[in-house]
Structures are given as structure tokens and as C-alpha cells.
Amino acid sequence: MRPAHLFLALAMLLSLSVYGQQQYTIEGQTLNLKTQVEGQLTLLWNVIDGEYRYFSKKGNTIVPLVNTKIDKDYQEEYKTVLADQTADGAVSVNNVKLTLSSLTNFFNTYNSQMDSTFVAEAVGSEMETRLGGFFGVNNNIYFVNPDNTALIMAGIDFEILEKNKLRRHSLVFQLRQLFSNSNYDFSSTQVSMNYRFKYVQTESLDLFINLKIAEYTYIDRTLDAADVNDDLSTIAGSGGSFRSPLAFGLGADIPAGNGLITVAYSDIVAIAIDNNGEFPIDFSLGYKFRL
């Protein structure tokens, strides 16, 4: 590519990245903000330093919309700001959440009441991804485990969710490693695809059901096994297999800092594969960041 063409391409990319943004000075800070809803009450927003920031503009006054946490309680200052700015209307702030979709609906409703010519802004998809790690213990009930030995495990979760229309649902891709020990020479590496349904959702806690849809597991094992004459023989080998276990588990996400603490009890029961008859132990604790 010629230098002139490269410069033109970079200029186009830069223009696309700032398209729809405008510079504002708010509380002494200069910010580039996007306009989500424009009307008598205008909603401005952007991702700043990895955090979603929202602002309400009425006339020439721009006010940040925040929800600070003091002693584990959210103060919901943004509701007070919106109530003051919309006191001339009849829109309740009680059910407004500090998310782009919820704020868009609120701003649309107020502007529609105040201006019959106002055209509401469509509420689109709001995707979020989360990445984190975890560790725990697992007694490997879906493989041979003669002494029901629990092994240490560690892994990585990558979660994809849509925060508007499908906020209770997410897709999780997981990599987990099971480590052998002196009592049980079995190790495995597993990649799986999971579906999660969040049956309880609050600002301080999400409870979910996890369904493991598909997995690829590579194992490395050396086991002593008795034959029909009670003679011991050694079974050794390694290899991989693909399965669709349809295994169910439970878990919780707890907001903490810029991410979430995740507690999970996984693979409690599987529909499509047999276990070895032992009670399942598959507990993990982890932390994931919002990307």
C-alpha cells in the first residue's frame, strides 16, 4: 500500500471512530460524548476509562448520572437528577436503571410527552463481554475415579450477554484444566460451550443455572485396575473426545469492584452421559472483568 493510501485509510478509520461524538466540558473536564437521545432532554454517553458514563442535558445544563455505593447501599443519585429535570412532566423515575437501554426508554418517554413531533430513538442491542479466571476442586465423576479422589482445577471463562432484550441469558466458553496428584494420576484439559439462565437478577446478586451443551476433553491417565481374578493391571493412555453432556450446574455472580465474583457448583447432573456413581464435587471460585 502506498503511503498516501495508508494515510487516507487511517484518516477514514479515525473519522469513523469519532463520528457522532461531540466535545463537552463538564465540571472542568473535557469529554467526547455520543448523543443517544436528542430532545428537550438529551441523553449523552460514552465509555470512559473502561466505564460506562451517562449525562443528562437540559437547556445548557449537563449533569452526570451516577449511582455511587456507600456502605453496600446504592445511593441512586441519577434518579434525583432525572426527577428534578423532568418535574414539568409525568414520568416516574422509580424503575429507571443506570443502563443505556433503560435511560433511552425514559428519555424517549419524557420527550414524547413534551413534544408531539419528537421521534423516539430505537433501543438497540447492548452487548457485554466478560473475561475471568477461577479455581476449585473436582472429583471427576464422569470418568473412572477408583478412590473418588478430588483434584485441583483452574480455568478461564469468556461470557457474552445482551443487556436489553436477552438480559437473563448468556453464552459462556470455558477452558478448564484438571491437575493430577499422587493418589490419582489423571489430568485433563477441557474446552466447553455453556448456556446460562439468570433466574434471579438484582443489583447486588445474579443467580444462574448453567447448562454445559458441548465439550472437548483431552485426558492423560495412568490407573490401576483389577480384573476378574483380582489381579492388578495398569491402564495408561491419553486422547481426546467430543461429547454433548447436557450437564446442569448452579452459580452466582456478585458485583465487586469493576467486575464480578463468581461462585459455581458445576456438572451436578448430566442427561446425556453416565457418571461413576459418586456424589458430584465440582466447586469453583473466580473473578471476571467486564470488557
Domain ranges (residues) in the chain: 13-114, 127-290
pLDDT attached to residue 228 = 46
pTM: 0.62
Pairwise pLDDT comparison (136 vs 120), residue with the higher score = 136
Backbone angles phi, psi at 137, to 5 degrees: -130, 150
Count how many residues are written for the chain. Answer: 291
Q: Tens digits of per-residue pLDDT, 134-178?
A: 999 999 999 888 889 999 999 999 999 887 678 889 999 999 999
Residue found by looking up cell 442427561 in the block = 271
Residue found by looking up cell 473436582 in the block = 138
pLDDT surpasses 60 at 29: yes
Q: Tens digits of per-residue pLDDT, 37-58?
A: 888 999 998 877 767 889 999 9
pLDDT surpasses 70 at 20: no
Buried b (16+ CB within 10 A) or exposed e, 78-96: bbebbeebbeeeebebeeb
3-state secondary structure of 89: coil
pLDDT attached to residue 235 = 64
Please list the residues that pair with 75 across neighbouring strands. none
Q: How confident is the model at residue 125 (pLDDT cuts 50, 70, 90)?
A: low
Pairwise pLDDT comparison (122 vs 106), residue with the higher score = 106
Q: How confident is the model at residue 6 (pLDDT cuts 50, 70, 90)?
A: very low
Please list the residues that pair with 234 across neighbouring strands. 224
Q: Tens digits of per-residue pLDDT, 214-264?
A: 999 998 887 665 544 555 556 666 788 899 999 999 999 998 877 899 999
**Fold type of domain 127-290:** Porin (2.40.160)
Pairwise pLDDT comparison (103 vs 101), residue with the higher score = 103
